[in-house]
Structure 1
Amino acid sequence: MTTQTSNSTSNTASPPSGGEHKLGLIALIAIVVGSMLGGGVFSLPQNTAATSAVGPVIIAWIIAGIGIYFIANSFRLLSDLRPDLQAGVYMYAQEGFGSFIGFNVAWGYWLMTAFGNVAFAVILMDAFNQFFPGVFTDGNNLNSIICGSVLIWGYNFLVLSGTKVAGFVNTIGTIAKLVPLILFVILLGFLINYSQVLSNFLGNSPQIMQTVNGQAEPVSLMSQILAPMTVTLWAFIGVEGAVVLSGRAKNKKDVGKATLIGFILALVIYMLMSVLPFGALTQSKLALVSNPSTAKVLAHVVGPWGEWLMDIGLIISVLAGWLAWTMLCAEIPMVAGQKGAFPKVFARTNKKQAASVSLWVSSFIMQAAMLLVYFSNNAWTTMYNISALMVVPAYITTTLYIAKICLNRQYDQYAKRGRHLALISGILGALFCVFILYASQMQYVALVPILLTCGLPVFIWSRKEKGNNQRLFEPKEYIYISILLLLDVIVAALFLTGVVSL
């Protein structure tokens, strides 16, 4: 991290000042788990069962678990091989594929964190509605927008107070929110009907149906497997949290450990929370449960106090997860500013070493998105789908980067063994990213190139700022830009002709 004050900037990261608090293994694990186990985990029963039976849900989690393992392993390996690349989500892309690709990864990841925080606000307000009926209806009425906005700026000032305070609060919050999740799993584990879990295992007896263009159609086994895939990706976003904050780690080796441990903990919790509810309610009833669905499921099993328990747990979870993501949201543009991918102004920090300018800008972006939520019919679904897909560029470039250094033998400069396994991890991780795009809803996939294109003015600003007669775009970057603009034209045509719509 830098040692600059808020009035100076630098293109390179300097050693931390003696007053900066560094993150240990437990704090890094808390960042990873806290980033992943956000508000979305409390809606998993309904989200995964919406059009899928328990068998396809299990298969979806296994596929997602394997795919995310290779992504997480790629981050783990690279954090050990290249500890010099701080905030690796952005740096791996730039190191492997050039400045323009690196910028787009940083830009896309930044937007992902911002939209993710707004999704937190929506589901948090929806949970508040349980305690104040009619006050926060659907999480996107006027009261919700006001309260969510207050929290956005509250977190802004909390993170500005420095990593020590924010990291401590996040660790406590992560521990606190695990309690209701563990209780949910234990209670269902003892009280559900396991024979019901196995009934209609594949969703074909009776056949699961869905409404398409006003008509009921059967949902095929493959469609049942693909349906929850975006939900699973959304659930795992944050597995790279320790890598993003690697510049603040006490021991660089802890980054890889925290990534793997956090991934395993989250996967176990996710699978249990998705499968066990099928023993409390049938798939058709789970699909209609309102979110946060864990509250309704536990209420069905133990009574009204179960709903209160899970709603309180959701509030704690979102508040803790929101803090972790606010820290990540500020870190990416700050490091990008230090390295020259973003304008230098983003590199500024305050006396607490907090990423002040990037945090303020991030908060304004979140505020703007929060205002747009007011006009959305299904704000939660829209926000988590956009967030899930905007992280794909970061994941695919990271996995392709480790595959690249394995193929060109650069890997051997950093380690004496493990190159073949690293290559497999990179290739399979990249293929999983492509699979996620295939499995996701087209209207949200189509937004990815549009949102990436919105970052071009910032990229041009940073290039002009460097001076030294540097070209605005390198020859190969014109190819990248042409592809991006071509995708924009195709997307615009799809929306204008009504082939896809939000």
Structure 2
Amino acid sequence: MTEPKSSPWEAAELTRAGAENPENVTEEIAHGDKLGLPQATALVVGNIVGTGIFLLPASLAAIGTISFAVMAATAVGAIALALVFGRLGARIPASGGPYAYARDGFGEFAGFWTSWSFWLTAWGGNAGIAVAWVGYVNYFLHWDSTLGKIVIGLVGMWIPALINLSGVKNIGLFQLVTTVLKFVPLIFVGIVGLFFLNSDNFGPFNASGDSTWNALWLAAGLILFIYSGMESVTIVAERIKDPARNVGKASIYGVLGCTVMYLLATVAIFGTVAHDQLMNSEAPFADAINNMFGGSIWGGVMAACAIVSGIGALNGWTLLVAEMPMAAARDGMFPKSFARLNRRGAPVVGIIVGTLLSSAMLLFAYASENAFNTILLFASFTTAIPYFFSAAAQLFWLVTGGRQVNKRRMAVDVTMAVIALLFSFAIVYGSGEQAVMLGILALLIGVPVYIWIKAQRGEYGARETTPAAPSTPVEPSP
């Protein structure tokens, strides 16, 4: 299949940046101070691996070893979507990722709706990450009052905001360091734990007490969402060195790395912690290490890893919460202020507004008893929309238009796009009825915003004026 090697999109991005910010075209963008492949891969891994992985094995133990089959199937869907992002990133290496892909395939309204949906995901999901992060910080601080938890959560969100405001170079370095610090101990548990497996620990195939079908989807409802963030590098393509090549590589390497780590760690913990203990564990990784080596210090070690993991995820998602609307704003699909950059090349309005909205969502989470689960499932549904439109845009490009193609590669690409579409459908189904209802309402709110933006652009011409009444002809005098 013939795909362009050059990147006209990248030149267009820089042109738009100059048009929107003639006084603010930054040194990072103009002179190539960008993220290399290691930092780009770290961004993907850092955004996928948040704080949830530290509790996931305990949740899956209550469902049973049927979770392994679901995890393997989910991995196939995630890898297929990563491959689709790789193809799209090579063809359209533009910042905005799913927004750019949807706009290229289906027009500006699909692009707007995709960016709107992802924006909801980013700042809403950040509040969920912050709530989970607070629990691990309190392992050491014990600020158990609601006010204390709110303060910790706000600090956790605004530190990454300040790092993002300081420029892309600092973002990449911070992301690389935090990713290494959290990935190494997790993969250590997964590999070393395989030497301590006890088959008696695994528990029943279906421990949920429900039907196999319901158990499958209950596990899917937990597992499908742990891959959220795989699109990270596509959204900041403008800030990646050689995006036509590295966007796809970083997406695939990041997803593959997380898949291996998830599978190894889950099997290792199931096999080293007794089933009854694991179901009620608040720190399954710490329990696994304690059972492997003895002692009780590992709870603090794993809590520290979770803190690093959470702050790294917040750092990466804060970048995304600003980059997607920035790309849309340059095309006139978001308020122009979101395209404004500071002297270090950071989309300052997007970072500040996104963090303020996350802060408000954090307050809502602590004011409502069940808000945390609602936030996470809502964010899972809204992230499925960009996935769906990205896969659909790739499929649309593959099966339409006249071009010379390699039949074998065509078959592979179409298969991957179809699997990615099914993966997106599965995320929606697994989100549950309440999250889907709230998500649809939030998406519909975006339609009046789109109308307002179009009106501000004056695309429909001048207002109608009342035509002058025809004058009555004067009869000539006889």
Q: Equivalent of 1:22, from 27, 34, 42? A: 34
Quote the residue 1:119 is aligned against: 128
Whether the aligned pair in 1 keeps the contact of 2:193 and 2:269 (CA below 8 Å) is: yes
The 3-state SS of whatever aligns with 1:352 is coil
Structure 2 residue runs without a partner (length 5+) = 1-12, 464-478
Whether the aligned pair in 1 keeps the contact of 2:20 and 2:330 (CA below 8 Å) is: no
Quote the residue 1:484 is aligned against: none
Alignment of 1:141-160 (within 5 A): 141-160=146-165
Quote the residue 2:90 is aligned against: 80
Q: How far did 1:326 drift?
A: 0.7
CA separation of 1:397/1:18 partners in 2, compared to 1, >3 Å: closer, same or farther?
closer
Count matched residues: 447
Question: Residue type matched to 1:98 in 2?
Answer: G
1-structure distance, mates of 2:117, 2:462: 23
1-structure distance, mates of 2:462, 2:370: 44
Q: Equivalent of 1:220, from 184, 207, 211? A: 211
2-structure distance, mates of 1:454, 1:368: 18
Question: Residue type matched to 1:331 in 2?
Answer: E
**Cα-to-partner distance string for 1:126-166 (whole Å, 9 max, x where unaligned):** 01221133x236xxx22111221133222222111110111
2:315 corresponds to 1:310: no
Q: How far did 1:307 drift?
A: 0.9
**Cα-to-partner distance string for 1:325-376 (whole Å, 9 max, x where unaligned):** 1111110011110111112121111111111111111111111101101123
CA separation of 1:270/1:125 partners in 2, compared to 1, >3 Å: closer, same or farther?
same
Whether the aligned pair in 2 keeps the contact of 1:120 and 1:322 (CA below 8 Å) is: yes
Quote the residue 1:274 is aligned against: 266
Quote the residue 2:252 is aligned against: 260
Question: Residue type matched to 1:294 in 2?
Answer: F
Q: Which shifted more, 386-395 or 227-236?
A: 227-236
1-structure distance, mates of 2:290, 2:404: 57
**Cα-to-partner distance string for 1:424-443 (whole Å, 9 max, x where unaligned):** 11122112221232233222
Whether the aligned pair in 2 keeps the contact of 1:2 and 1:15 (CA below 8 Å) is: no
Question: Residue type matched to 1:264 in 2?
Answer: L
Identity level (%): 28
2:366 corresponds to 1:374: yes
Quote the residue 2:435 is aligned against: 444
The 3-state SS of whatever aligns with 1:377 is coil
2:394 corresponds to 1:402: yes
**Cα-to-partner distance string for 1:190-247 (whole Å, 9 max, x where unaligned):** 33413433x53x22xxxx34xxxxxxxx312222221121322221111111111111
1-structure distance, mates of 2:16, 2:388: 33
1-structure distance, mates of 2:432, 2:404: 41
**Cα-to-partner distance string for 1:384-412 (whole Å, 9 max, x where unaligned):** 222221100000111111111111136x3
**Cα-to-partner distance string for 1:149-193 (whole Å, 9 max, x where unaligned):** 133222222111110111111111111111221232244223341
2-structure distance, mates of 1:359, 1:413: 43
Whether the aligned pair in 2 keeps the contact of 1:122 and 1:379 (CA below 8 Å) is: no
Structure 1 residue runs without a partner (length 5+) = 210-217, 473-502
Q: Equivalent of 1:233, from 184, 201, 224? A: 224
Whether the aligned pair in 2 keeps the contact of 1:2 and 1:349 (CA below 8 Å) is: no
Whether the aligned pair in 2 keeps the contact of 1:9 and 1:345 (CA below 8 Å) is: no
2:45 corresponds to 1:53: no
2:330 corresponds to 1:320: no
> Looking at CA atoms only, which structure, 1 or 2, has the larger radius of gyration?
2
Q: How far did 1:300 drift?
A: 4.8
Quote the residue 2:72 is aligned against: 62
2-structure distance, mates of 1:456, 1:9: 27
Q: Equivalent of 1:40, from 48, 52, 55? A: 52
Question: Residue type matched to 1:160 in 2?
Answer: L
Whether the aligned pair in 2 keeps the contact of 1:45 and 1:277 (CA below 8 Å) is: yes
The two structures have a TM-score, normalised by structure 2, of: 0.87
Whether the aligned pair in 1 keeps the contact of 2:160 and 2:315 (CA below 8 Å) is: yes
Question: Residue type matched to 1:142 in 2?
Answer: L
1-structure distance, mates of 2:461, 2:21: 20
Q: How far did 1:122 drift?
A: 0.8
Question: Residue type matched to 1:194 in 2?
Answer: S
**Cα-to-partner distance string for 1:247-292 (whole Å, 9 max, x where unaligned):** 11111201111111111100011112222222233444322223x5
The two structures have a TM-score, normalised by structure 1, of: 0.83
CA separation of 1:108/1:415 partners in 2, compared to 1, >3 Å: closer, same or farther?
farther
Whether the aligned pair in 1 keeps the contact of 2:27 and 2:345 (CA below 8 Å) is: no
CA separation of 1:461/1:293 partners in 2, compared to 1, >3 Å: closer, same or farther?
farther
Moved over 6 A (4+): 3-7, 13-16, 413-417
Alignment of 1:379-398 (within 5 A): 379-398=371-390
2:176 corresponds to 1:171: yes
Q: Equivalent of 2:421, from 427, 430, 433? A: 430
1-structure distance, mates of 2:456, 2:21: 13
Question: Residue type matched to 1:407 in 2?
Answer: V
The 3-state SS of whatever aligns with 2:297 is helix
Q: Equivalent of 2:354, from 362, 374, 388? A: 362
CA separation of 1:265/1:470 partners in 2, compared to 1, >3 Å: closer, same or farther?
farther
CA separation of 1:458/1:16 partners in 2, compared to 1, >3 Å: closer, same or farther?
farther
Whether the aligned pair in 2 keeps the contact of 1:57 and 1:275 (CA below 8 Å) is: no
Question: Residue type matched to 1:262 in 2?
Answer: G
